[in-house]
Amino acid sequence: MSPASALRLRRIAVLAAALGLAPLLSPIAAPAASAAACGTENLALNRPASSSSTENGGTLPAAAVDGDPGTRWSSAFSDPQWLRIDLGGPKQLCRVTLNWETAHAKAFQVQVSDDAADWRDLHTATDSAGGVQQLDVAGTGRYLRVHGTQRATGYGYSLWEVGAYAVTDGSDPVLPPTDPRNPDFGPNVLVVDPRSSTVDTQNRLNAIAREQRTNQFGPQRHAVLFKPGNYNADVDLRFYTQVAGLGLHPDDVNINGHVRVEADWLQQGEDPNNLGNATQNFWRSAENMSVTLPPNTIERWAVAQAAPYRRMHVRGQLHLWNGHDGWASGGWISDSKIDGVVVSGSQQQFMTRNTQLVDGWAGSVWNMVFVGSTGTPPPNFPNPSHTVLPTTPVIREKPFLHVDAAGNYGVFVPSLRHNASGTSWASGTTAGSSISLSQFYLVKPGTPAATINAALSQGRHLLFTPGVHRIDDTIRVTRPNTVLLGLGLATVIPTTGKAAIAVSDVDGVKLAGLLVDAGPVNSPVLVELGEAGSSRDHAANPVSVHDLFLRVGGAGPGKATVSLRVNSHDTIIDHVWAWRGDHGDGVGWTVNTGANGVVVNGADVTAYGLFAEHYQQYNVLWNGENGRTYMFQNELPYDPPDQASWMNGGTQGWAAYKVADSVNRHEGWGLGSYCFNNVNPSVVTANSFEVPRKPGVRMHNLAAVSLGGVGTISNIINNVGGPANTTTQVRYLNEYP
């Protein structure tokens, strides 16, 4: 409610700052840290902010740290008032910037505190003129406060933006530029163009396949990228390998041959010669290309979890298991077109989103879910278990690397779609925009976390090259619309017990194509989206995660209390697998400890393809309102040594999927949970699902399975549905309540 001239005055102040005249508008404190030693990263940007009061609901404290000079915090019309910012940890501040609206402070202090209780003055003003103030300061604290004691107008205190800058060891690192025409993707990326030797290309593909055939927990990572054109190739896709086209349309790259996943290495049952088991065909992907099959052949995609099939066009049939008696437990297809019939065979469950099934789908076991797809089978549950929803309520497709006709690389970011049916590219190029690769920092294995964070603070996006990235500090994403994209199942491991990735409560961040592996020191959380208590509305530009895989143990000792925590409202989860290892190295009930796979605190969060397995408490804990899950797959932990170790208070075991008692609205479609208590088959889990008994909470098409009758789930949901055990291994429920 300040005068209309405020906007003009603000623009004059900003112009003055740009011209170097800002010191004339404000007092300067002394002594100051040298300019060369004062960093350029705004530590207040998108940090949690609170205040003594607000003028109205449109002038909240977060508006003073959102990086938008057109939004502001304003207080009630009285003295004193304050704005407080949590910098996340002790910071040695050297500069604070204040951009006042016309309703500014005549008298105020800039203060720091370690505990938000005991405050120390860094700067005092008694006759401030407002405007844009750059205050050189010297002091250390976690909390920064602007404490106004006398207003300059009859209104309250009003700040467009607050900035905070800390002392560095000299200057921010000088990061190498990324050449968009000749980027250095490192040794684990093979780029193929139409001039490449067909023989040499096939030899390289064969060598990668031989190396990765059974390399389930090795450190090797590969990406094979095809520039637009036609190729003759047989891609035998194995562990930690991504094959992708570099066009803007899937048909820009055509493979005459195969892009296939075979079930031919893992023993099934007691027969050592039966290697048709696909249940461990994890961690690989095919994206953004078309495949023209040789006559009278099919494409095989016999996969388990974490094996996405995206933006693919298959000219022929697609079979999702070994074609005989092999087991399979997948899986994910999205934004694709399959010209022939898809035969699911023994696949226990599968998620198909926004895909054109030209010749339909054949097959079902326990939980086949189709969302926003065409050519699907009719809805039916169970036998066959086909959950079908005609549209996808809100989705953004995964960002992808591409190259234009001039040879410039970029990352294409698809636009948000609502009530979508079919592929994003059905009528031509996908709607969205491209970001030049020159705006990305290419993260290679061995890059320090400090360098990665410096790149982020300088406004760069991140492209992780294939490999294992060990980091000693959290990667902190604070800027809206930042893209973090991994190639070749790039793997991030926090080594010091911190989070691997923390995203501030900002608009439009995209995390895609990353495997985050817990380190040997327990991390409270591996990936966190938004700070605790996040409250901003992101409906117009949500955070989204795509093909994000989280792992605790298996590749070695690892511990993490929570694998993924979602605090930001409106987040889109577009294929996540959170896995506490049941096999491999460093596994055991007291070895690879992990309480929760996914914890959702934000409101209006939507999940497509939510896979969470083997955690020691709730695999999924949903605390936020208005959540929606389309396809959930779970295995409860195999390894509780006894019932006493698998108790939630007086309840036998922990539900796979828990909606908090405080939640009033929640809905889920196509949800399955399985037990296999091979360590102690007498272990019992009371319910696979627990939800509040409220009118706004609805669950559709649920399954509980005792795999081989090893272990017992007493009921599907809220003591309803009957036991899955040796006698009756599969239980279904169409609707709850």
Which pLDDT score, from 0 to 100, does residue 14 have?
37
Q: Cα(291)–Cα(314) distance, rounded to whole angstroms?
A: 5
Which pLDDT score, from 0 to 100, does residue 713 have?
98
Least confident of 156-170, 321-335, 357-371, 664-678: 156-170
Which pLDDT score, from 0 to 100, does residue 1 have?
41
- pLDDT > 70: what percent of the chain? 95
Q: Cα(353)–Cα(356) distance, rounded to whole angstroms?
A: 9
Q: Stretch 353-367: mean pLDDT, rounded?
A: 98
Across the chain, mean pLDDT equals 94
Which pLDDT score, from 0 to 100, does residue 149 have?
97
Q: Stretch 696-720: mean pLDDT, rounded?
A: 98
Which pLDDT score, from 0 to 100, does residue 168 have?
81
Closest by CA to 251, choosing from 333, 339, 335, 314, is 314
Residues paired with 386 in a beta bridge: 368, 380
Using the structure block, give the residue that is written with the tokens 């399959």.
Answer: 338
CA–CA distances in Å: residue 63 to residues 40, 46, 70, 85, 116: 21, 9, 9, 12, 20
Token pair, residue 489, equals 């199942």
Q: Stretch 292-297: mean pLDDT, rounded?
A: 98
Using the structure block, give the residue that is written with the tokens 């396949």.
Answer: 209
- In this model, does residue 624 exceed pLDDT 90? yes
Which pLDDT score, from 0 to 100, does residue 248 have?
98
Which pLDDT score, from 0 to 100, does residue 171 have?
55
Which three-class secondary structure state does DSSP give residue 456? helix
Marked catalytic residue, from 299, 613, 635, 690: 635
Which domains, and CATH codes, for the chain?
A: 6-166 (2.60.120.260), 189-366+379-396 (no CATH), 443-635 (2.160.20.10)
Q: Stretch 107-114: mean pLDDT, rounded?
A: 95
pLDDT classification of 578: cutoffs 50, 70, 90? very high
Q: Stretch 228-255: mean pLDDT, rounded?
A: 98
635 annotated active-site: yes
- pLDDT > 90: what percent of the chain? 91
Which pLDDT score, from 0 to 100, does residue 139 have?
87
Q: Select the more confidently predicted residue: 22 or 233.
A: 233
Which pLDDT score, from 0 to 100, does residue 34 have?
36
Which pLDDT score, from 0 to 100, does residue 170 have?
58
Q: Cα(518)–Cα(578) distance, rounded to whole angstroms?
A: 11
Q: Stretch 230-244: mean pLDDT, rounded?
A: 98
Q: Cα(633)–Cα(635) distance, rounded to whole angstroms?
A: 7
Q: Stretch 59-65: mean pLDDT, rounded?
A: 95
Over residues 446-487, the pLDDT tens digits come to 999 999 999 999 999 999 999 999 999 999 999 999 999 999
pLDDT classification of 364: cutoffs 50, 70, 90? very high
Over residues 30-52, the pLDDT tens digits come to 333 334 578 888 999 999 999 99
- In this model, does residue 367 exceed pLDDT 50? yes
Which pLDDT score, from 0 to 100, does residue 12 have?
34
Which pLDDT score, from 0 to 100, does residue 329 have?
97
Which own/partner contact pairs does 441-444 have at CB distance under 8 Å and 24+ positions apart? 441/175, 441/178, 442/178, 442/183, 442/184, 442/185, 442/186, 443/469, 443/490, 444/186
CA–CA distances in Å: residue 84 to residues 62, 131, 319: 10, 20, 58
Which pLDDT score, from 0 to 100, does residue 41 have?
86
Q: Stretch 628-650: mean pLDDT, rounded?
A: 98
Residues paired with 314 in a beta bridge: 291, 338
Which three-class secondary structure state does DSSP give residue 372? coil
**Does residue 580 come out as left (phi exceeding 0), alpha (psi in the -120 to 50 range) or beta?**
beta
Q: Cα(425)–Cα(708) distance, rounded to whole angstroms?
A: 42
- In this model, does residue 159 exceed pLDDT 50? yes
DSSP state of 383: S
Q: Stretch 215-242: mean pLDDT, rounded?
A: 98
Please state the pTM of the whole predicted model.
0.84
- In this model, does residue 24 exceed pLDDT 50? no
Question: How would you classify the pairing of strands 81-100 and 132-151?
Answer: antiparallel
Which pLDDT score, from 0 to 100, does residue 36 have?
53
Least confident of 103-117, 137-151, 161-175, 446-460: 161-175
Over residues 541-552, the pLDDT tens digits come to 999 999 999 999
- In this model, does residue 27 exceed pLDDT 60? no
Least confident of 159-168, 417-426, 603-612: 159-168
For residue 26, the Cα-to-chain-centroid distance in whole angstroms is: 43
Sign of CA dihedral 406, 412, 416, 417: positive
